[in-house]
């Protein structure tokens, strides 16, 4: 799998973040449509200061884009399937990856260590669609030595990954400048 290195997205170094940066990331992840004005009110900062911080987070690659959460079942693709794959030694990895990326239902493809080399996630309509994917799209790919199929029963909801990794959100209390000035 030495040829895989050219296909894997490279990771950059960690970006130093302060509590305000982490709070902005957390809030934007929860609501990508939040305006800078709204965010500024929520964290008790000026709009331009929030805009500058967001721009810096985008430039540094912390914020890579803004997205929409899609209800796949409502779109007619309620079946989620994970398919781990073993690539045969000496197989043409470039062709395998090209063939996989040509499958429209492919949602994600990750390279892993361990028993398998790749794990693909597909969005499908039903059992017949899964059968078509396996028989017509995956099994004919030269170089795939072994695949398994794992049907998702559903996602287990939990607290936000950002909250777990960045720590709990710290509520910004508005400051009363009059109180600070009088020392009361």
Same-domain pairing of 51 and 106: no
Tell me how far apart the alpha carbons of residues 7 and 4 are, in angstroms, rounded to a whole number.
5
Same-domain pairing of 63 and 85: no
Same-domain pairing of 85 and 61: no
Total domains in the fold of the chain: 2
Same-domain pairing of 123 and 147: yes
Same-domain pairing of 59 and 110: no
Residue 180 lies in a domain: no
Locate tokens 């028989």: which residue? 135
Spell 35-48 as b/e; 16+ CB within 10 A means b. ebeebbeebebeee
- CATH value at residue 59: 1.10.10.10
CA neighbor of 81 nearest in space, from 153, 150, 154 = 150
Residue 161 lies in a domain: no
CA neighbor of 62 nearest in space, from 15, 13, 26 = 15
Q: What is the pTM of this model?
A: 0.77
Residue 168 lies in a domain: no
pLDDT value of position 156:
80
Note down the domain range covering 32: 17-69
pLDDT tens for each residue of 155-168: 887 767 878 888 76
Domain termination site, one of 26, 51, 69:
69
- CATH value at residue 115: 3.30.70.920
Residue 30 in 3-state DSSP?
Answer: helix
pLDDT tens for each residue of 35-60: 999 999 999 999 999 999 999 999 99
């Amino acid at each position: 799998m030495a040829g895989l290195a050219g296909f894997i997205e490279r990771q950059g170094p960690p970006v130093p973040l302060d509590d305000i940066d982490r709070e902005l990331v957390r809030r934007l992840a929860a609501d990508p449509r939040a305006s800078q004005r709204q965010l500024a009110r929520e964290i008790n900062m000026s709009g331009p200061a929030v805009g500058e911080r967001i721009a810096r987070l985008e430039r540094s690659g912390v914020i890579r884009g803004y997205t929409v959460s899609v209800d796949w079942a409502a779109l007619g693709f309620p079946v989620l399937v994970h398919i781990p794959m073993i690539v045969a030694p000496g197989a043409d990895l470039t062709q395998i990856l090209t063939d996989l990326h040509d499958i429209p239902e492919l949602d994600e493809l990750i390279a892993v260590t361990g028993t398998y080399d790749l794990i693909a996630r597909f969005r499908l309509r039903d059992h017949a669609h899964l059968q078509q994917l396996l028989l017509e799209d995956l099994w004919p790919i030269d170089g795939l030595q072994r695949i398994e199929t794992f049907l998702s029963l559903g996602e287990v909801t939990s607290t936000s990954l950002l909250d777990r990794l960045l720590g709990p959100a710290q509520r910004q209390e508005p400051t009363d400048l009059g109180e600070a000035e009088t020392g009361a």
